[in-house]
Amino acid sequence: MVKESIINILIDEERCTGCILCKLWCSYIHHKIFNPLKANLEIKDRYGLAPKIIFLDTCIKCGQCVQHCLYGALRLKEEDN
Amino acid sequence: MELKGYTGNILNVNLTDNKITVRKQNVDDIKHFIGGLGINTKIAAELIKPNIDPLSPENYLIIGVGPLVGTITPGSSRTVGTSKFPATGAIAYSCGSMSFGFQLKNAGFDHVIISGKADKPVYLLILDNNIDLIDAKEIWGQDIVESTHFLQKKHNNCGVIAIGQAGENLVKSSLALIDRTSTFGRGGLGAVMGSKNLKAIAVKGTLGVSIANPKKFNELFSNLLERIKNYPQRESWHQLGMMRSLPVGMLLLDSGQKKKARQCNERFYLRKLKKRRIACPSCPMGDKDILQLQEGSNSGLLNYTSSIINPALMFTLEDLINFDEAIKGYDIVNRYGLDSLTITSLLKFCTILYEKGILTEENTGIEWKTDYNTLIKLIEIITYRKEFGNLLADGWKKLAEAYNSIENEMLTVKGLDIIFEPRILRLGTMEFEQVVNPKGAHVASGGSPTYIGAGSSIEKFNIHFSRMGIPKSAISRIFTPPLEEMVVNIGRLTRYSEDWYTVLTSVGLCARAQMNRFYGLESTTDFYNAITGYNMQPEDLRIAAERTWNLIKLLNMKEGFSRKDDKFPKEWFNPLKFGDKILKFQDFFGQTIITPEIANQLLDDYYDERGWDKITGIPTQAKIRELGLEKFQFINN
């Protein structure tokens, strides 16, 4: 099921592969280090049957994660229009 | 100076005396051996004494990751394990992926050296600097999926390398799985862990990885990501994963198993099998599967696999009727920590011996068939070393000793069963590599243009040669085969495929064709320099790879291996009945039949291209000096 997040990003968790390209880029661009724990989004159960993508309160809505999701799990809302 | 890309730390764990220490990496080692496979090999050369029993406390298990691991560099999640392998007795390596290497780097370690033997089953837990050996009584005897689930639940989704019952029972072909998905340790790394009473290694890191030159890195990364985004086949890779790589349905069709072929097509996979696609950290080409059977007697069964090809190859067992039988068999194999390729080969081979009257119900307790019940029986008796399974658990060499008339019919090299059959696939570097790889019939030539589907024209060959960093001076030799009509000299080309593979495996990049096709020696060097801050030249990386491969060879020379062991399976020179067809051992372009004389010439050419002695098949003094490996030549003698 495609969900709409608070930051104008469509989330399709079924397409998430757990590659964490989004989290790695987020931590790198905002904290200058590759560290998924510093990313502003979380992926729970990323190698399980039903991963959950959650944007944290620290997210500044830059949309960079979307640019780095190659599987279509994160898309900007405009892209669907 | 603070290292970038590297953590600079090597963790030492002595299981015998429960001693855990950390030492710093030597910068000279980094420059000479890069990391991952390279530095693992250097450590093995310093520590593993010749002619030890691989299952004794004297053996070491060395785990390493390269400098690119932990960054966002696409496809950089490789973990390398080095040890003396019990299936063949060779000092060699094996690779896996998923999250273990990524977590190890985040915990602050490039390598882990494990020695000795614990006095009771334990698992090693690494949580940054908090490192402990923990009683494994709750998971010893459990399968890999159960053990991994237990550890990930207890330790916050850590990366896990775990063995199953086969490793615990010292089955010589047993392996481990990373995160219950990625195979790690073909050739008996599972038994090495079992012999040390080491059920698993769990790691979780919080430290992150910083790099030396972000500006340069950003430029390289954004260019590469754009290329990957624009790759026309990307969508179909995402959809089909490894199903794209080998058309098993065609294989079944050609082998005369038409009804079964329908169960191995893309439609069946997408509708009836695929549950989820998963990817290693940083991988934009995710090709690993969570499968779930939608129908049949095992409906609902979940299976985690690093390659759908493995259960599909199991399905080539003639008497398996439905694909769900192969998935179920494969799932048990994975859970126990066996090697699905070896189990499949063993069942085929034992059935042939049974038909010939060499194996009987009386001497084995089994009426051999390639059907589901026999497959399950075989898995059980090998894993738990019951009855005839006890002999099979000791590997192909012991089987050959027990029935000495059968060795010539075995499709093995140095005691390991082949993966690629050249009578079906013709002779590319993947097939040839199985003969010369120091480990046995293993493959270390991903990225070569003879890789399945990578192209077959001279133009494509030249593009790949340039990408792999093959020196221009070698090109004319590579295009000089024993017979003109063969076009390409696979012996000479294999040397450079191995070098390219070693570069990838030392920096930490994936060697699967769909990922490494985006890299060349030059761009890999650029990433390496941007991440580490060093100023290496592409040729420096290639020479470091060559140095590593020569050192692996030198180590195995001490174990008694030489040209006499680089043997083409005799059976390859006989015709293979395959469905309605009779297939013969042909060159890559299908222009000529490979005879023993041509095969020997290709071996000569491989050694010549490597700078090794043609008679003994080992590095010459000149090559050892050129690579600065003199001190390893007599080490531990």
Chain-wide mean pLDDT for chain B?
94
Question: How many alpha carbons lie under 13 Å from residue B212 in its C-beta half-sphere?
Answer: 19
For domain A2-80, the CATH class is alpha beta
Neighbouring CB atoms inside 10 A of B268's CB total 17
Per-residue pLDDT tens over the stretch B463-486: 999 999 999 999 999 999 999 999
Residue B384 to residues B166, B391, B609, Cα–Cα distance (Å): 7, 11, 45
Query: Could you state, in order of their start, the residue ranges of all structural domains in chain A?
Result: 2-80
Question: Which ipTM was obtained for this model?
Answer: 0.94
Q: Mapping DSSP to helix (H, G, I), strand (E, B) and coil, where does residue B13 land?
A: strand
Q: Mapping DSSP to helix (H, G, I), strand (E, B) and coil, where does residue B497 land?
A: helix
Residue A73 to residues B232, B251, B282, Cα–Cα distance (Å): 19, 34, 15
Cβ distance of B71 and A34 shorter than 8 Å = yes
Instruction: Give the containing element (helix H, strand E) for B276.
Output: strand B274-278
Per-residue pLDDT tens over the stretch B587-598: 999 999 999 999
Distance from CA of B27 to the nearest CA of A (A): 23
Closest A-chain CA to B302 = A49
Helices (DSSP H) in B489-595: which residue ranges?
490-507, 513-516, 521-532, 538-558
Q: Phi and psi (nearest 5°) for B131?
A: -120, 135
Please answer whether residues B87 and B440 qualify as being in contact, where contact means their C-beta atoms are separated by less than 8 angstroms: yes
Indicate whether A5 pLDDT > 70: no
Least confident of B51-65, B434-448, B524-538: B434-448
Question: How many alpha carbons lie under 13 Å from residue B588 in its C-beta half-sphere?
Answer: 30
State the amino acid at position B443 in one-letter form.
V
Which of B584, B603, B246, B588 is closest to B450 using CA atoms? B588
Cβ distance of A35 and B209 shorter than 8 Å = yes
Tell me what pLDDT residue B256 has: 83
Beta-sheet strands, E only, within B122-251: 122-127, 130-135, 159-163, 176-178, 182-184, 198-204
Per-residue pLDDT tens over the stretch B52-81: 999 999 999 999 999 999 999 999 999 999
Cβ distance of A35 and B284 shorter than 8 Å = no
Please answer whether residues B83 and B186 qualify as being in contact, where contact means their C-beta atoms are separated by less than 8 angstroms: no
Per-residue pLDDT tens over the stretch B7-25: 999 999 999 999 999 999 9
Q: Is the dihedral of CA B296, B302, B305, B307 positive or negative?
A: positive
Please answer whether residues B624 and B466 qualify as being in contact, where contact means their C-beta atoms are separated by less than 8 angstroms: no
Indicate whether B237 pLDDT > 60: yes
Distance from CA of A30 to the nearest CA of B (A): 13
Please answer whether residues A23 and A53 qualify as being in contact, where contact means their C-beta atoms are separated by less than 8 angstroms: no
**CA B257, CA B30: separation in Å to the nearest integer?**
51
| More confident call, B297 vs A69 | A69
β-strand B9-14 against A74-76: which pairing, if any?
unpaired
Question: How many alpha carbons lie under 13 Å from residue B116 in its C-beta half-sphere?
Answer: 14
Helices (DSSP H) in B339-452: which residue ranges?
340-355, 361-364, 372-383, 389-392, 396-402, 422-425, 429-436
Distance from CA of B121 to the nearest CA of A (A): 27
Give all strands of the β-sheet with B91-96 in edge-to-edge order: B19-24, B9-14, B111-115, B61-64, B79-84, B91-96
Chain-centre distance for alpha carbon B575:
28
Please answer whether residues B163 and B176 qualify as being in contact, where contact means their C-beta atoms are separated by less than 8 angstroms: yes
Tell me what pLDDT residue B334 has: 98
**CA B385, CA B392: separation in Å to the nearest integer?**
8
Please answer whether residues B82 and B91 qualify as being in contact, where contact means their C-beta atoms are separated by less than 8 angstroms: yes
Which of B314, B36, B337 is closest to B177 using CA atoms? B337
Indicate whether A81 pLDDT > 70: no
Please give the share of chain B, as a percent, with pLDDT higher than 70.
Answer: 98
Residue B431 to residues A23, B122, B487, B490, B555, Cα–Cα distance (Å): 39, 39, 17, 9, 23
Mean pLDDT, rounded, for A26-43: 97
Could you say which of A35, A47, A49 has the minimum Cβ distance to residue B106?
A35
Structure-block tokens of residue A55:
């944007």
**CA B126, CA B347: separation in Å to the nearest integer?**
39
Tell me what pLDDT residue B205 has: 98
Cβ distance of B238 and A18 shorter than 8 Å = no
Per-residue pLDDT tens over the stretch B345-382: 999 999 999 999 999 999 999 999 999 999 999 999 99
Most A CBs within 10 Å: which of B4, B69, B72, as the mutation test of the A interface?
Answer: B72
**CA B80, CA B35: separation in Å to the nearest integer?**
10
Per-residue pLDDT tens over the stretch B584-633: 999 999 999 999 999 999 999 999 999 999 999 999 999 999 999 999 98
Residue B185 confidence class, pLDDT cut points 50, 70, 90: very high
User: CB of B208 within 8 Å of any CB in chain A?
Assistant: yes
Indicate whether B635 pLDDT > 60: no
State the amino acid at position B119 in one-letter form.
D
**CA B557, CA B554: separation in Å to the nearest integer?**
5
User: CB of B225 within 8 Å of any CB in chain A?
Assistant: yes
Please answer whether residues B85 and B189 qualify as being in contact, where contact means their C-beta atoms are separated by less than 8 angstroms: yes
Domains in chain B, start-ordered, CATH in brackets? 9-204 (3.60.9.10), 231-405 (1.10.569.10), 417-633 (1.10.599.10)
User: CB of B127 within 8 Å of any CB in chain A?
Assistant: no
Cβ distance of A24 and B210 shorter than 8 Å = no
